[in-house]
């Protein structure tokens, strides 16, 4: 194989023994330069694999130094180099994503990672690292996805009203499935462990059952039990004063169920619609387990890290 001289470009090159690492050396007959031919692409691929281990598996600099044979400073340079590179597109076919899950998770209480996930293959369609889970942020994010061809049939999400309004403004015909797990968690948090009123005790039992709603029969039982509970306790609920124990929380629970009821059951009509955002919650849990190993990054590095993590989880 002819290897041109890297210095003068001459084709007059001959083999010139082996290096200490047992690699073939070459000498240019024109300029006399002696060198070892190096494939820069192989070098970059190796360095990217070390970067992937740092991102996805949480390897620290010492571990990567042992694997690569490089110093700590060299590993830092490799890590910094790849963090500055553009992250490849996360999704290869936007039009195929029909049943989505949406949620956000906060880092340091200052910035939020918003993610749209495809329920079919549990892969991230796209993500944004922004200041908060607001109407404008979700609206802009959704409009970008729509321009790329995303046209979902359903989106499963929590009860954030600003998020629901933003998504409906972009995709008016989309089915909104309320996450049953979020409803259960929020309801149990409001009602506490030992409600001090009869309606509080009954509502707590209903809220606890939300996680087990799987069939039309479950829907019928829940609906009948809820209507009966409200009818039995309407008079008592109206007479309770705002300063009595738990009354504000009970009213929150009633409003929660009333507002979410129509969007609680879409998963019964279409089995492809997930009833919870648990897949995305588990995804966030794994992400934060790895992220905590690299705490202390600057904001730009943190944003790049999160985007690369989403990319490598897809691939």
Q: What is the pLDDT of residue 157?
A: 96
Quote the CA–CA distance of 67 and 82 in Å, as a whole number: 18
Q: What whole-number percentage of the chain has pLDDT above 70?
A: 95
CA atoms within 13 A on the CB side of 197: 22
pLDDT digits (tens, 9 = 90+) for 198-242: 888 889 999 999 989 999 999 999 999 999 988 887 766 666 665
63/210 same-domain check: no
User: Does 71 fall in a domain?
Assistant: yes
Q: Is residue 135 part of a domain?
A: yes
Same domain for 64 and 144: no
Q: What is the mean pLDDT of the chain?
A: 90
pLDDT > 90: percent of the chain: 65
- Domain closes at, from 54, 83, 112: 83
Q: Clarify whether residues 49 and 171 are in a common domain.
A: no
Q: Residue 304's pLDDT band (boundaries 50, 70, 90)?
A: very high
Query: In a 10 Å sphere around its CB, with 0-12 CB exposed, 13-18 middle and 19+ buried, how is residue 127 labelled?
Result: buried
Query: Are residues 24 and 48 located together in one domain of the fold?
Result: no
**pLDDT higher than threshold 60 for residue 60:** yes
Q: What three-state secondary structure class fits 73? A: helix
Q: Would you say residue 192 has pLDDT above 80? A: no
**What is the predicted pLDDT for the residue at 277?**
96
Predicted pLDDT at 73: 94
**216 and 263: one domain?**
yes
CATH number at residue 4: 2.20.25
Give the residue numbers spanning the domain of 74.
40-83
Q: Do 131 and 11 fall into the same domain? A: no
The reported pLDDT for the residue numbered 230 is 87
Position 63 pLDDT exceeds 60 = yes
Q: Identify the DSSP state of 240.
A: S
Decide if pLDDT at 113 tops 70.
yes
Same domain, 143 and 275: yes
Say what the pLDDT of residue 26 is. 86
> In the prediction, which pLDDT does 282 show?
95
Look at residue 246 and tell me if it is in a domain: no
Q: Which of 60, 83, 106 is the last residue of a domain?
A: 83
Please report the pLDDT score of residue 243 as a whole number: 53
Higher-confidence residue of 183 and 245: namely 183
Section 35-40 average pLDDT? 72
CA atoms of 143 and 223, how far apart (whole Å): 36
| CB hemisphere CA count around 275 (13 angstroms) | 18
Query: For 147-171, what is the mean pLDDT?
Result: 96
For residue 301, being part of any structural domain is answered with yes
Answer yes or no: do 98 and 44 share one domain.
no
Domain identity same for 297 and 281 = yes
Q: What is the pLDDT of residue 236?
A: 63
Query: pLDDT at position 97, please?
Result: 95
Residues 6+ apart with CB under 8 A from 99: 118, 119, 120, 152, 153, 154, 156, 272, 273, 274
Q: Do 78 and 127 have their domain in common? A: no
What average pLDDT does the segment 2-16 reach?
A: 78
Domain boundary among the residues 83, 113, 136 is at: 83
pLDDT average, residue stretch 171-191: 94
- pLDDT (0 to 100) of residue 283: 96
- Flag whether pLDDT at 165 surpasses 80: yes
Q: Are residues 29 and 46 both part of a single domain?
A: no
Total number of domains in the chain = 3
pLDDT of residue 245: 52
Judge if 162 and 74 occupy the same domain: no
Average pLDDT over every residue of 283-312: 92
């Amino acid at each position: 194989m002819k290897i041109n001289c890297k210095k003068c470009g001459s084709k007059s090159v001959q083999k010139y023994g082996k290096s200490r690492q047992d690699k073939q050396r070459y000498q240019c007959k024109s300029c006399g330069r002696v060198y070892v031919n190096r494939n820069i692409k192989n070098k970059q691929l190796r360095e990217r694999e070390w970067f992937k281990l740092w991102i996805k598996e949480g390897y620290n600099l010492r571990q990567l130094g042992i694997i690569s044979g490089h110093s700590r400073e060299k590993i830092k340079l490799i890590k910094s180099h790849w963090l500055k590179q553009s992250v490849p597109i996360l999704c290869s076919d936007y039009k195929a994503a029909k049943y989505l899950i949406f949620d956000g998770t906060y880092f340091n209480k200052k910035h939020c990672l918003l993610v749209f996930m495809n329920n079919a293959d549990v892969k991230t369609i796209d993500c944004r690292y922004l200041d908060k889970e607001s109407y404008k942020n979700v609206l802009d994010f959704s409009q970008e996805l729509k321009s790329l061809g995303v046209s979902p049939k359903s989106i499963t999400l929590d009860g954030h009203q600003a998020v629901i309004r933003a998504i409906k403004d972009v995709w008016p015909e989309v089915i909104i499935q309320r996450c049953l797990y979020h409803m259960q968690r929020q309801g149990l948090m409001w009602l506490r462990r030992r409600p001090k009123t009869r309606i509080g005790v009954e509502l707590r039992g209903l809220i606890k059952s939300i996680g087990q709603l799987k069939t039309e029969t479950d829907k019928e039982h829940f609906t009948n039990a809820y209507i009966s509970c409200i009818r039995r306790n309407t008079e008592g609920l109206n007479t309770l004063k705002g300063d009595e124990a738990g009354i504000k929380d009970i009213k929150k629970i009633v409003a929660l169920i009333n507002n979410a009821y129509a969007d609680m059951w879409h998963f019964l009509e279409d089995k492809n619609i997930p009833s919870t955002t648990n897949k995305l919650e588990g995804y966030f849990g794994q992400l934060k387990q790895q992220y905590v190993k690299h705490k202390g990054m600057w904001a730009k590095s943190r944003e790049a890290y999160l985007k690369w993590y989403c990319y490598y989880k897809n691939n």
